[in-house]
Structure 1
Amino acid sequence: MAALAMAATLPLAGPVLAETDAPAAVLAAVDSAITIAPRPAPAVEVAPEAAATPQFETIGEGMASYYGREFAGSRTASGARFDPAALTAAHRTLPFGTQVQVTNEATGDSVIVTINDRGPFHGNRVIDLSRAAADEIGLTRAGRGMVQLAVLTDTPSNN
């Protein structure tokens, strides 16, 4: 009841009402004092342009190995210096600059490498990877492993 009496004594815009009318008067005063802002329109998320998913064409499978650190700094067949930390590889016939997805058949892990050298020249291997590429797909511990090769067919210059 004290709240009602106090509410009745609040200065209101308009006529002062008797204490018995206080709840209605307070509500009327509050209603007239409240300004209701329009609800903002719901945010519409505009999907960013879908990044083009790289397209690969499978070219085969076989044994992969990786270059040892002793070749670091040596010139590759493309003229570039070999960097074990770069994602590069050697292949017998693919053009330099070709991007190849190499997938470890045992783990399913993949890495995309750029061909910058010729080889491998020993055994039945189909590709020699840099140390970083071999690390990415889990081949460094065994030193070699069966992989699937797929060439990148959808490049930004083809769009």
Structure 2
Amino acid sequence: MKTLLKTSQYAFKIYIFLLALFVISCGSRNSASSSYRSTTVSYYADKFNGNRTASGETYRHSKLIGAHKSLSFGTRVEIVNVENDKSVIITVNDRGPLKPSREFDLSQGAFKKIADLNEGIVKVKYRILN
């Protein structure tokens, strides 16, 4: 009987240890998704102002929005210019960009928050907020 009791106590300790490992691994997975990734971004040309986006919204260059190839519409993303540390939070509401080297196309309003429009393309780091 004592052997059975010791075996079940041992099994319980292993169970708690494995449970703790699982909880820790879930936490580290979430923090990994909030880590920054690098890319370059550009902005929409004036000719798109007033057109419909892939989400059905009307594009307004003053809004803090952007396009991404696969992120769900409504996803919020923090984008930080690596040269000046200026940041902006955008909401994905369109598909694009067409250039494979870029992850996002930003509205002019969002781009202006992190860089001068004359720069056209800037190196950034970004993280998904939701």
Partner of 2:75: 98
Q: Which has the larger radius of gyration?
A: 1
Structure with greater contact order relative to length (CA < 8 Å, sep ≥ 6): 2
Partner of 2:50: 73
Q: What is the distance in 2 between the residues matched to 1:85 and 1:125?
A: 21
TM (norm. structure 1) is 0.59
Q: Name the structure where helix makes up a greater proportion of residues.
A: 2
Counterpart residue type for residue 56 of structure 2: G
Identity of aligned residues (%): 37
Q: In 2 relative to 1, CA 126–139 (structure 1 residues): closer, same or farther, beyond 3 Å?
A: farther
Query: Is 1:121 equivalent to 2:121 in the alignment?
Result: no
Matched residues, number:
99
SS at structure 1 position matched to 2:35 = strand
Partner of 1:135: 112
Counterpart residue type for residue 78 of structure 2: Q
- TM superposition shift of 1:62: 0.6
Partner of 1:62: 39
What per-residue deviation string (whole Å, max 9, x for no partner) do you get for residues 87-138 of structure 1? 0000011100000000001110000000000000124111100000000001
SS at structure 1 position matched to 2:84 = coil
- TM superposition shift of 1:140: 1.4
How much is the aligned-residue C-alpha RMSD, in angstroms?
Answer: 1.6
TM (norm. structure 2) is 0.72
The match for 1:108 among 85, 107, 111 is: 85
Q: What is the distance in 1 between the residues matched to 2:97 and 2:37?
A: 15
Runs of 4+ in 1 over 3 A off after TM superposition: none
Query: Is 1:146 equivalent to 2:117 in the alignment?
Result: no
Counterpart residue type for residue 80 of structure 1: E
Partner of 1:48: none
